[in-house]
Amino acid sequence: MASAVLVEQAKNEDWTDEQVVARVLAGETALFELLMRRHNRRLYRVARAILRDDAEAEDVMQDAYVRAYQNLASFEGRAKFATWLTRIAVHEALARHRKRSRFQSLDSSDPSHGDLMNSATSLDRSPEEETYDRELSGVLERAVLSLSDEHRLVFMLRDVEGMSTEETAQCLHLSQENVKVRLHRAHAKLRKQLFAAVGATASQCFQFHAPRCDRVVNGVFKSLGWKSLPSLNDSGG
């Protein structure tokens, strides 16, 4: 098996997935690690979008990688390797979903806490900004997980992973028109969910608190050459 040096070399030389696949098939099997590290996040997000469970998503990722490695010689390059690999992960996740649904009903109201929509946080972000990011991510995750399976998966592939309509269609064995319809409906449902989520707190936005009221009143008095009155200051506007 090739050394870790070869894996690092591949990273530095920016080999395409297809070039790495060719080298793996030629005997440099250690390079398969590079393919896994490149696609871990996508496969995790896709599997978790279907199964709504962190541990099961990781199990599916492992199964998908094993299956992909065992069938690597059958990869013909007609689609991108990423699309081919994602299709395998989708198949594995859906198979597990169907098997699980025979024994228990899925509880969509209480998804496990994971990092479905999480991305690397910039080191330049302040603690307040990071807190805001986490809160916003949580709201979006809950909205995405409330979608039906067919709409959620299309949304994940197209909008989260940035796959093209054609690639998404290939992964899910759908027509491109069907992908577009499902994505449109996913967007509509997400808008509804997000508006519902923020509607309860919308009235609290941009509140005009008493100190701000005092500053405005006193500023007007000062501009007009008046002296601010204690009774007005104490009123809070």
Query: Domain of 127?
Result: 111-205
Q: What is the CATH number of the domain that holds 52?
A: 1.10.1740.10
Give residues with Cβ within 8 angstroms of 24, minimum separation 6.
31, 32, 35, 72
Choose one of 78, 108, 138: the last residue of a domain: 108
pLDDT band at 166 (very low <50, low <70, confident <90, very high): very high
Same domain, 58 and 84: yes
Name the one residue in this structure whose structure tokens are 């009123």: 235
The sign of the dihedral angle between the CA atoms of 162, 166, 168, 171 is negative
Query: Same structural domain for residues 86 and 34?
Result: yes
Same domain, 120 and 104: no
Work out the pLDDT band at 129, boundaries 50, 70, 90.
low
Q: Do 50 and 94 meet the contact criterion of CB atoms below 8 Å apart? A: yes
Contacts of 193 (CB under 8 A, 6+ apart): 142, 143, 146
Q: Which of 92-96, 136-140, 141-145 has the highest mean pLDDT?
A: 92-96
- 56 and 129 both lie in a single domain: no
Are residue 26 and residue 78 in the same domain, yes or no?
A: yes
Q: What is the pLDDT of residue 145?
A: 81
Span 150-160, average pLDDT: 88
pLDDT band, very low/low/confident/very high, at 216 (cuts 50, 70, 90): confident
Q: Within this chain, do residues 14 and 100 fall inside the same structural domain, yes or no?
A: yes
At which of 108, 142, 167 does a domain end? 108
Based on the fold, state whether residues 227 and 200 are members of the same structural domain.
no
**55 lies in the same domain as 116:** no
Q: Which token pair is 43?
A: 């496969």
Examine the domain organization and report whether 116 and 213 are in the same domain: no
Same domain, 144 and 189: yes
Identify the band that residue 101 occupies on the pLDDT scale cut at 50, 70 and 90.
low
Taken as a whole, the chain contains a residue count of 237
If one counts the domains in the chain, the total is 3
Q: Of 31-45, 134-148, 198-212, which range is least confident?
A: 198-212
My answer on whether 20 and 95 are in the same domain is: yes
Domain stop point among 49, 78, 108: 108
Lowest-confidence range among 6-10, 86-90, 115-119?
115-119
**Residue 69 binned pLDDT confidence (cut-offs 50, 70, 90):** very high
Lowest mean pLDDT among 77-91, 175-189, 201-215: 201-215
Clarify whether residues 151 and 184 are in a common domain.
yes
Range with the lowest mean pLDDT among 3-12, 57-66, 114-123, 173-182? 114-123
Residue 24 and residue 45 in contact, taking contact as beta carbons nearer than 8 Å: no
The pLDDT value given to residue 107: 46
